[in-house]
Amino acid sequence: MAPFKDYTYTHFLVTSPSPFVAHVEINRPQKLNAFSEPVWREFATVFDRLSHDPDVRAVVLSGAGDRAFSAGLDVQDAVNSPLGADLGGDPARYATNMRRHITEFQDAIAAVEKCEKPVVCVLHGISIGIAIDISCCADVRIAARNTRFAVKEVDIGLAADLGTLSRLPKLVGSTSWVKDVCLSARDFSANEALAVGFVSQVHDSKDAAVAAGTKWAEFVASKSPVAVQGTKELLNHARDHSVAENLRYTTIWNAAMLQSSDTKTALMSGLQKKKPTFEKL
């Protein structure tokens, strides 16, 4: 893979396996890709930039090393964060500082969901806590067979507050299963995740899963960026709104986006049986 332009970061490796595809790796394998505050703040920076980069149309997200996509929160760092520190002040001031910290953390993880480009999350090995929060924000999830998932927050004395409890019930069809894994903090396998619809593919190895994720990203990147980005936006809107509200939003959205040259390009390429080429967006 070629380095991706000037995307140089401390905790993330960004490469380009093919045109218009970015591959982001969480690059702390010695820490099982755990998230400290500097990591999650940089994570948001990476995805905010990818969102508006015209040379990116799809993103693959994975974890470096063989052992983990991410072991979740960096516990050593958490001791010195607002979670473990004495912030001082009266309860109202303590709560205000804590609320601000949690909101910033939530917004950083949500950068994947807010990214205008579709993101396929490839999970392997240990994938707990924040790994679930992040993957819930992704558009597509693919797992290696050795993936061990867990919504681990109950085991460290808190209710998950970065998005799993908000998003996971909307991603799978069984509230019973969601409450099972969230209340117990038990492990669940890639095959179980596939059975409930949390992931859409399971592959025998990390390499095979990454290859599948990259192939998917390449396929999507070959399509109209106007259509792809609009589809992501409208699907995310539909999740949180009524059918009537989403149809209204879609009408307004397409009133603008149907003026794109991409529609004509796609239609003509179909008639002429040739691969379309779309302008950058």
Same domain, 105 and 232: no
Distance, in Å, from the CA atom of 98 to the CA atom of 91, rounded to the nearest integer, reads: 10
Asked whether residue 239 falls in the same domain as residue 103, the answer is no
Whole-model pTM? 0.94
Of the candidates 5, 23, 27, the one whose C-alpha atom is nearest the C-alpha of residue 61 is 23
pLDDT at 269 over 90: no
Question: What digits encode the pLDDT tens for the residues 140-165?
Answer: 999 999 999 999 999 999 999 999 99
* Closest by CA position to 64, among listed 206, 215, 202, 218: 206
* In-domain check, residue 89: yes
Q: Does 261 lie in the same domain as 146?
A: no
- Each residue of 63-95: pLDDT tens digit? 999 999 999 999 887 767 666 566 667 888 888
Quick one: pLDDT band at residue 1, thresholds 50, 70, 90? low
DSSP string of 75-88? Answer: HHHHHTSTTTS---
Predicted confidence (pLDDT) per residue in 230-239, tens digit: 999 999 999 9
Domain membership of residue 128 (yes or no) is yes
Same structural domain for residues 10 and 62?
yes
Tell me whether residue 279 is in a domain: no
- CATH code for the domain in which residue 237 is found: 1.10.12.10
70 and 188: one domain? yes
Residue 259's domain comprises 225-272
Residues 94 and 139 in one domain: yes
pLDDT for 199: 99
